[in-house]
Amino acid sequence: MFSLKGLGIYQRCLVSVILLLSHGTPSHSSLSRRTLELMTRYPLIDGHNDLPLRLRIFQKNNLNHLNLHNYTKTATNINKLQAGHVGGQVFAAYVMCTAQDMDAVRLTLEQVDLIRRMCERYPGLELVTTAQGMRNTTKIACLISIEGGHSIDSSLPALRMFYLLGVRSMSLTHNCNTPWQWWMRLGMLIDLSHTSLATARAVLNHSRAPVIFSHSSSNTICNHSRNVPDDVLRKLKMNGGLIMVNFHSGFIACGRRANISTVADHFDYIKRVVGAEHIGIGGDYDGANGFPEGLEDVSKYPALIGELLSRNWNETELAGVLRLNFLRVFDSVEKIRDGLRDTPPSEVQIPFAEANNSCRLELKPPVIVQKSARGGSSVPSVQALLWALLLLHCLLLH
């Protein structure tokens, strides 16, 4: 057995430091091995990805002339998702809110169509619509979300039709205001990312089902309007919901240079406030430009998990962060939906004045103008009436 006897004080200190470093701190190879083992058992479910938006911008939604396995124009492709041990990805059917009150519904339908085609075209992807479907698949599960209430044009029937097309999550707003309240009967996940704090607090005060922030971070660490303050985090904990941490540097470091450690600081802080069971990951890749060093694309998720392991997060906590917390919330939303099956669908219509959409047509019986035998209108024109009045006036004067 090794002994410190016979060594001077400085030699003893040096040996103690070496022993501490070698046995008290996990080696890089040990962390890498633990990370990959953990992510193999619990493949990541990421809450928000904007690849469909980039495919619209770069490819006009045409999938026939690209290979999504190694597509290089985006931070997301199938090879990178597999390298990042992603087992489920929520893809956003996002259209800019400048389309509000115009053709947002059509554009959103086109994005939903793109995601469905993408996930049906590639054998490594599978479109899923239930929590159990996410558990059962051996592929990368694709879940569809709508980002912004403007996409349903203040119409609950439109929302129901999106649900039938496979949409399972929707954020209430995306930087624009929408004049309607959520309806829980469908069993969609309520996403509060992008909402105002007043809206977030109101929903958390009234929602029976747990909600998510699909791509938001800590406002205390980075004071940005898109991030979540502590009082809302505590309400989220009471609600049983989930905050899925955003990686974009603007929301992680308020525009300053960021790295993996910067992102991990958000995880550490939120864990102290609400506990690890209310945390997930929503990287926001391809939704913004500028990501931390070491987390440049979706293949880099293991680097973050390794960092959290080095900060003494245990495997139970990280299994929740990777996927189990999201599945718990999804299960709960579906359970509440099932309990409301006997509740008839809402037929409430948003008043025209409240919707404030000049492009809306109010359906009324048409005014039918009958034609005369000569093919003209039997209803005299305004011009003809004016001439008749002028003639009558002249006759009366004479």
Which positions are catalytic?
Answer: 48, 50, 147, 174, 194, 215, 284
SS3 state at 363: coil
SS3 state at 34: helix
Supply 26's token pair.
């996990």
Q: Give CA–CA dist 196/266, Å, rounded.
A: 21
Q: Give CA–CA dist 395/382, Å, rounded.
A: 20
85 within 8 A of 43, measured Cβ to Cβ: yes
CA nearest neighbour of 31 among 285, 260, 323, 267: 260
CA nearest neighbour of 198 among 222, 224, 177, 223: 177
Kindly give the residue spans of alpha helices, DSSP state H, lying in 149-196: 156-164
SS3 state at 12: helix
Burial of 308 (0-12, 13-18, 19+ CB in 10 A): buried
Supply 357's token pair.
């959409």
The one-letter code for the residue type at 28 is H
